[in-house]
Amino acid sequence: MFVPVRNGFPFVNKTHQLDIGGKDISEYLQFLLKKKGIENVPNIDKIKEDYCFVSDCEEPDKEKVEEVSVELPDKTILKLKEERYRATELFYHPERIRKELGGIGRKLFNTLYDIDHYLKRELRGPIVLAGGNTLFKGFEERLTLETKYHDINSFFKNRIKMHATQDRQYIQWLGGSIFSLISVFPNLCTTKAEFDECGPSAVSDRCFYNTK
């Protein structure tokens, strides 16, 4: 999800979404291994997190990609090389699993481009990365390159900046915990009785940035 934020307020009607998550990367890694004749690899999420990375281009120099050996629970050895970066290419080529066209670089550029002109200079950086998928080695660098690649008219003049904190996999929870401490938080909460009576609209109608 790409959400422009200014002074703490999100531009809800300017958001873009990429329908690719960690589960998709894990399943695609499993698929790539199956093509090599290796099926039903256990602990695939852990293997993905420990050994996969984002390359600086779609097909990097294979001679520079290190092959790693992973010992599975049954003591067999799994060797990974091209799969290490090809699994994460889904971020940039979701069509490989029949999802929408346009990867994460295109989505980020579209989000920046759709912002009102007078805000573009302010919101082109820093771009805050959040979520576990942004922890892949090379994620920040590749996203910067891809966004600049789509900026064919140098609209942002190569001034796009990324901001990646060490705890970014928890940043949504940290933000939620801070939000819960502000004085008006109880007034923004929806009770179960209200939700049972009105459904999801009970939440959206109470939200101060409702776009209806």
Please provide the DSSP assignment of 144-199 as one string: HHHHHHH-TT-TTTT---EE--TTGGGHHHHHHHHHTTSTTHHHH---HHHHHHHT
How large is the average pLDDT for residues 8-24? 85
pTM: 0.78
Place 52 in a pLDDT band, splitting at 50, 70 and 90: very high
**What burial class does residue 80 get, using C-beta atoms within 10 Å of its C-beta: 0-12 exposed, 13-18 middle, 19+ buried?**
buried
Least confidently predicted of 12-16, 172-176, 195-199, 205-209 = 205-209
For residue 6, what pLDDT is reported? 80
CA 97 to chain centre: 17
Q: Is the peptide bond before 60 cis (omega within 30 degrees of 0)?
A: no
How large is the average pLDDT for residues 113-136? 81
How large is the average pLDDT for residues 17-31? 93
Is the separation of the CB atoms in 86 and 25 below 8 Å?
no
Using the predicted structure, report yes or no on whether residue 45 has a pLDDT greater than 50.
yes
At 89 the three-state DSSP class reads helix
Interatomic CA distance for residues 102 and 118, integer angstroms:
26
Place 152 in a pLDDT band, splitting at 50, 70 and 90: low
Two tokens, residue 62: 């294979």
Place 70 in a pLDDT band, splitting at 50, 70 and 90: very high
Interatomic CA distance for residues 135 and 105, integer angstroms:
16
Is the separation of the CB atoms in 3 and 10 below 8 Å?
yes
For residue 209, what pLDDT is reported? 47
Is the separation of the CB atoms in 91 and 134 below 8 Å?
no
Give the percent of the chain with pLDDT over 70: 92
How large is the average pLDDT for residues 180-205? 85
Place 207 in a pLDDT band, splitting at 50, 70 and 90: low
For residue 212, what pLDDT is reported? 40
How large is the average pLDDT for residues 6-18? 81
